[in-house]
Amino acid sequence: MDVVHSALHAGHDGGVELHRGQLVPCYECPARVDFIEQALRAAGRHTWLPPRDFPLERLLDIHDADFIEFLRTAYPRWRAEGRDGSMLPSGFPARGLRRDRVPSGIHGAMGYYAFDAGTPIVPGTWEAALASAHCAMTAAALVTEGARAAYALCRPPGHHAARGTYGGYCFLNNAALAAQGLRDAGKARVALLDVDYHHGNGTQEIFWERDDVLFISIHGTPDTEYPYFLGYADERGAGRGEGYTLNLPLQRGTDWARYSAALATAREAIQAFGADALVVSLGVDTYQGDPISAFKLSKEHFPLLGGQLAGLGLPKVLVQEGGYAVEDIGHNVAAVLGAFDSAVLR
């Protein structure tokens, strides 16, 4: 399988996040990619490709122009105030506060565009996020050109990033950009299945009113799990998009038996939709060893997950999302991809 990756991810480093009331080094760290790369190179079945370049306007199908401009210029604006280190917001326009204007100051603007204090911007963040998006868009292009499947080794991840907000370690919505790429190349109906432990709130928001992209997410219930404020089963889309969002929230402690039942439901929905192509938001933070998550999937379950995805028999773009048990992340990702390779022509 083709693997698209860029070294620019490494510039997004050195960040701290607010975790249980303390500033700690980000769980979402560059070493994640090193471990994935190591495991995939050891598997020896992959063709490694750099991302292609795309016009900046392509991002505007998925994101607001003012948001892109904020991300592109945020760190220089911070530097212009004589600051260094990582940028974290400290105030947000919650209920009762104004959201109809973007503060001209960088601190207020940051709170306007961010939705958590866990997603630092550092000097290399914009270039890393853009390269990550290009990896996903390249993988989508490869599939439209005839590849059965392609994997985008995206970092930073993307599924929490919405049209005009960032958070959850995500800046640009890589999977949404891949789905849009498939649509633009003529795939009429695209299913986007998000198997990251956390609800893909950004992807859901982006496709909320669309009936050409079916969004399905299997995740820890927002009642107790991040991102807390989206991802319940009663969220089903609106307007033309009504019925084209499917949330399958699960309790903490969910094991493979219950997880795979949700996966079967997702597979049925994808088939009923009549998808022409599939994008998978592939987080492996469903692993029992994950430090910020609470499902109970073990190493032997990732090949089964891969087999279930491969068995759908559609052209597929796999987009890396979360996974923070850094030492095991490579093994788990390689296990999912390995199942695709053994299902060569499906």
283 binds ligand SP5 (CB under 6 A): yes
Answer for which of 117, 125, 166, 196 binds ligand SP5 (CB under 6 A) is 196
Which residue among 160, 219, 301, 331 is the active-site one?
160
What's at 120, amino acid-wise? P
Q: Give CA separation, 203 vs 38, 109, 277, in Å.
A: 29, 22, 16
Asked if 51 touches Zn ion (CB under 5 A), the answer is no
Burial class of residue 77 (count of CB atoms within 10 Å of its CB; 0-12, 13-18, 19+): middle
Give residue for tokens 């919505």.
173
Q: Which residue is nearest to Zn ion (CB)?
A: 322
Least separation in angstroms between residue 219's CB and Zn ion is 8
Closest approach, Cβ 185 to ligand SP5, in A, equals 26
Q: Within 10 A of 8 (CB to CB), how many other CB atoms are there?
A: 20
249 CB contacts (<8 Å, ≥6 apart)? Answer: 199, 219, 220, 221, 222, 223, 231, 232, 233
- Region from 41-49, 100-108, 274-282, 322-330 binding Zn ion, contact rule CB under 5 A: 322-330
Is residue 290 close enough to count as binding ligand SP5 by CB under 6 A?
A: no
Task: Rule CB under 5 A: choose which of 28, 196, 235, 290 binds Zn ion.
Answer: 196
- From 16-24, 42-50, 52-60, 188-196, give the range in contact with Zn ion by CB under 5 A: 188-196
Interaction between residue 285 and Zn ion (CB under 5 A): yes
Nearer to Zn ion, 29 or 102 (CB): 29
Whole-number Cα distances in Å, 152 to 89, 248, 327: 29, 25, 20
Q: Which stretch binds ligand SP5 (CB under 6 A): 101-109, 167-175, 183-191, 336-344?
A: 167-175
Chosen residue from 194, 235, 285, 328 binding ligand SP5 by CB under 6 A: 285
Of 198, 210, 267, 301, which one interacts with Zn ion (CB under 5 A)? 198
> 100: which residues sit within 8 A by CB, 6+ positions away?
none
| Among candidate residues 162, 154, 163, the one with its CA nearest the CA of residue 131 | 154
Q: Does 5 bind ligand SP5 (CB under 6 A)?
A: no
Residue 11 beta carbon to Zn ion: minimum distance, rounded to whole angstroms: 22
**Total of chain residues touching ligand SP5, rule CB under 6 A:** 14
Q: Is the dihedral of CA 20, 24, 29, 32 positive or negative?
A: negative
Per CB under 6 A, does 205 bind ligand SP5?
no
Structure tokens at 161: 């990033």
| Residue 321 engages ligand SP5 in binding (rule: CB under 6 A) | yes
Active-site annotation holds for 160: yes
Per CB under 5 A, the list member of 30, 167, 202, 283 interacting with Zn ion is 283
Residues that bind ligand SP5 (CB under 6 A): 118, 157, 160, 168-170, 196, 198, 226, 283, 285, 292, 321-322
Site residues (vs Zn ion, CB under 5 A) = 196-198, 283, 285, 322
Please give the positions annotated as active site.
160
